[in-house]
Structure 1
Amino acid sequence: MTDKVVRLGAGMAFWGDRVQPAADMVERADIDYLCCDHLAELTMSILAKQRAKNPDAGYTRDLIDLLRGVLPAAVRKGVKVISNAGGANPRAAGERVLELAKELGLSGLRVAVVTGDDIEADIDRLMADGVSFTNLDTGAELVTVRERLTHAAVYTGCEGIVEALRLGADVVICGRVTDIALYLGPLIHEFGWATDDWQRLGMATVVAHAIECGGQATGGLYAADWEGVDGLEDLGYPIAEVREDGTAILTKTPGTGGRVDIGTVSEQLVYEILDPGNYLTADVTADFTQVRLEEIGPDRVLITGGTGKPRPETLKVNMGYRAGFVGEITFTYSWPDAWAKSQRGIEFLRRRLAAADFRYSDEIVEYLGHTSMFQDRVPPPTDPDLPEVVVRYAARCPDAEQARKVFTESVPLYNNGPAGVAGVGTRPPLKELYAIWSSLIPREHVVQSVELLEV
Structure 2
Amino acid sequence: MSKTVRLGAGMAFWGDSVQPAIRMVERGEIDYLCCDHLAELTMSILSKQKDRDPERGYTPDILDLLRGALPGCVEKGIKIITNSGGANPRGAAAKIAGLAKELGISGIKIAVVLGDDLSPRIDGLLEQGVDFANMDTGEPLSAVRDRLTHAAVYTGCEGIVEALGAGADIVVCGRVTDIALYLGPLRHEFGWAADDWERLGMATAVAHAIECGGQATGGLFAGGWWETGGLEELGYPIAEVAEDGTAVITKTPGSGGRVDIASLSEQMIYEILDPANYLTADVTADFSGIELTEIGPDEVRITGATGRRAPATLKVNMGYRNGFVGEVQFTYTWPHARAKARRGIEFLERRLARAGFTASGTHVEYLGQTSMWNDRVSVPDDPDLPEVVVRYAARCPDQAEARKVFTESVPLYNNGPAGVGGIGTRPPLKELFAIWPCLIPREHIVQSVEMVEV
Question: TM-score normalized by structure 2?
Answer: 0.99
Cα-to-partner distance string for 1:213-266 (whole Å, 9 max, x where unaligned): 000000001111111111111000000000000000000000000000000001
How far is the alpha carbon of 1:378 from its aligned partner? 2.2
Cα-to-partner distance string for 1:114-142 (whole Å, 9 max, x where unaligned): 01100101101100110000100000000
Tell me how far apart the structure 2 counterparts of residues 336 and 382 of structure 1 sit (CA, whole Å): 11
How far is the alpha carbon of 1:429 from its aligned partner? 1.5
User: Any idea what SS the aligned residue of 2:164 has?
Assistant: helix
Alignment partner, residue 117 of structure 2: 118
Q: How does 1:287-298 map to 2 (within 5 A)?
A: 287-298=286-297
Alignment partner, residue 74 of structure 1: 73
Tell me how far apart the structure 1 counterparts of residues 153 and 388 of structure 2 sit (CA, whole Å): 44
Q: How does 1:236-315 map to 2 (within 5 A)?
A: 236-315=235-314
User: Any idea what SS the aligned residue of 1:9 has?
Assistant: strand
User: Any idea what SS the aligned residue of 1:331 has?
Assistant: strand
Tell me how far apart the structure 2 counterparts of residues 58 and 308 of structure 1 sit (CA, whole Å): 35
Tell me how far apart the structure 2 counterparts of residues 170 and 213 of structure 1 sit (CA, whole Å): 23
How far is the alpha carbon of 1:376 from its aligned partner? 2.0
How far is the alpha carbon of 1:381 from its aligned partner? 3.1
Alignment partner, residue 23 of structure 2: 24
Q: How does 1:27-42 map to 2 (within 5 A)?
A: 27-42=26-41
In structure 2, what residue type is equivalent to 1:298?
A: P
- 2:372 is aligned with 1:392: no
Tell me how far apart the structure 2 counterparts of residues 383 and 313 of structure 1 sit (CA, whole Å): 56
Alignment partner, residue 362 of structure 1: 361
Alignment partner, residue 13 of structure 1: 12
Tell me how far apart the structure 2 counterparts of residues 433 and 181 of structure 1 sit (CA, whole Å): 30
User: Any idea what SS the aligned residue of 2:232 has?
Assistant: helix
User: Any idea what SS the aligned residue of 2:438 has?
Assistant: strand
How far is the alpha carbon of 1:377 from its aligned partner? 2.4
**1:411 touches 1:425 (CA, 8 Å); kept in 2?**
no
In structure 2, what residue type is equivalent to 1:126?
A: L
Tell me how far apart the structure 1 counterparts of residues 303 and 110 of structure 2 sit (CA, whole Å): 34
Where do 5+ consecutive residues of structure 1 fail to align? none
Tell me how far apart the structure 2 counterparts of residues 218 and 425 of structure 1 sit (CA, whole Å): 41
In structure 2, what residue type is equivalent to 1:66?
A: L
Tell me how far apart the structure 1 counterparts of residues 327 and 232 of structure 2 sit (CA, whole Å): 33
- 2:376 is aligned with 1:377: yes
Alignment partner, residue 214 of structure 1: 213
**2:6 touches 2:30 (CA, 8 Å); kept in 1?**
yes
User: Any idea what SS the aligned residue of 1:223 has?
Assistant: coil
In structure 2, what residue type is equivalent to 1:183?
A: Y
User: Any idea what SS the aligned residue of 1:433 has?
Assistant: strand
How far is the alpha carbon of 1:311 from its aligned partner? 0.4
Alignment partner, residue 406 of structure 2: 407
- 2:330 is aligned with 1:347: no
Where do 5+ consecutive residues of structure 2 fail to align? none
Q: How does 1:73-222 map to 2 (within 5 A)?
A: 73-222=72-221
Tell me how far apart the structure 1 counterparts of residues 421 and 289 of structure 2 sit (CA, whole Å): 56
The root-mean-square deviation of aligned C-alpha atoms, in Å, is 0.8
How far is the alpha carbon of 1:63 from its aligned partner? 1.0
In structure 2, what residue type is equivalent to 1:246?
A: G
**1:368 touches 1:389 (CA, 8 Å); kept in 2?**
yes
In structure 1, what residue type is equivalent to 2:289?
A: Q
Tell me how far apart the structure 1 counterparts of residues 44 and 382 of structure 2 sit (CA, whole Å): 43
Alignment partner, residue 333 of structure 2: 334
Deviates more, 1:249-258 or 1:368-377: 368-377
How far is the alpha carbon of 1:382 from its aligned partner? 4.0
User: Any idea what SS the aligned residue of 1:327 has?
Assistant: strand
In structure 2, what residue type is equivalent to 1:173?
A: V
Tell me how far apart the structure 2 counterparts of residues 189 and 13 of structure 1 sit (CA, whole Å): 23
How far is the alpha carbon of 1:355 from its aligned partner? 0.8
How far is the alpha carbon of 1:278 from its aligned partner? 0.7
Tell me how far apart the structure 2 counterparts of residues 381 and 56 of structure 1 sit (CA, whole Å): 53
Tell me how far apart the structure 2 counterparts of residues 154 and 377 of structure 1 sit (CA, whole Å): 35
**2:339 touches 2:381 (CA, 8 Å); kept in 1?**
no
In structure 2, what residue type is equivalent to 1:223?
A: A
In structure 1, what residue type is equivalent to 2:218?
A: G
**2:334 touches 2:383 (CA, 8 Å); kept in 1?**
no
Cα-to-partner distance string for 1:184-213 (whole Å, 9 max, x where unaligned): 000000000011000000000000000000
Structure 1 residues 9 and 168 mapped into 2: Cα distance closer, same or farther (>3 Å)?
A: same
User: Any idea what SS the aligned residue of 2:350 has?
Assistant: helix
In structure 2, what residue type is equivalent to 1:146?
A: R
Cα-to-partner distance string for 1:292-327 (whole Å, 9 max, x where unaligned): 000000000000001000001111001000001110
Deviates more, 1:382-391 or 1:256-265: 382-391
User: Any idea what SS the aligned residue of 1:441 has?
Assistant: strand
User: Any idea what SS the aligned residue of 2:161 has?
Assistant: helix
Tell me how far apart the structure 1 counterparts of residues 67 and 424 of structure 2 sit (CA, whole Å): 42
**2:338 touches 2:382 (CA, 8 Å); kept in 1?**
no
Cα-to-partner distance string for 1:151-202 (whole Å, 9 max, x where unaligned): 0000000000001101111111000000000000000000000110000000
In structure 1, what residue type is equivalent to 2:224?
A: D
In structure 2, what residue type is equivalent to 1:33?
A: Y
Count matched residues.
Answer: 454
**1:414 touches 1:425 (CA, 8 Å); kept in 2?**
no
Deviates more, 1:177-186 or 1:411-420: 411-420
Tell me how far apart the structure 2 counterparts of residues 226 and 341 of structure 1 sit (CA, whole Å): 36
User: Any idea what SS the aligned residue of 1:117 has?
Assistant: coil
User: Any idea what SS the aligned residue of 1:143 has?
Assistant: helix
**1:284 touches 1:311 (CA, 8 Å); kept in 2?**
yes
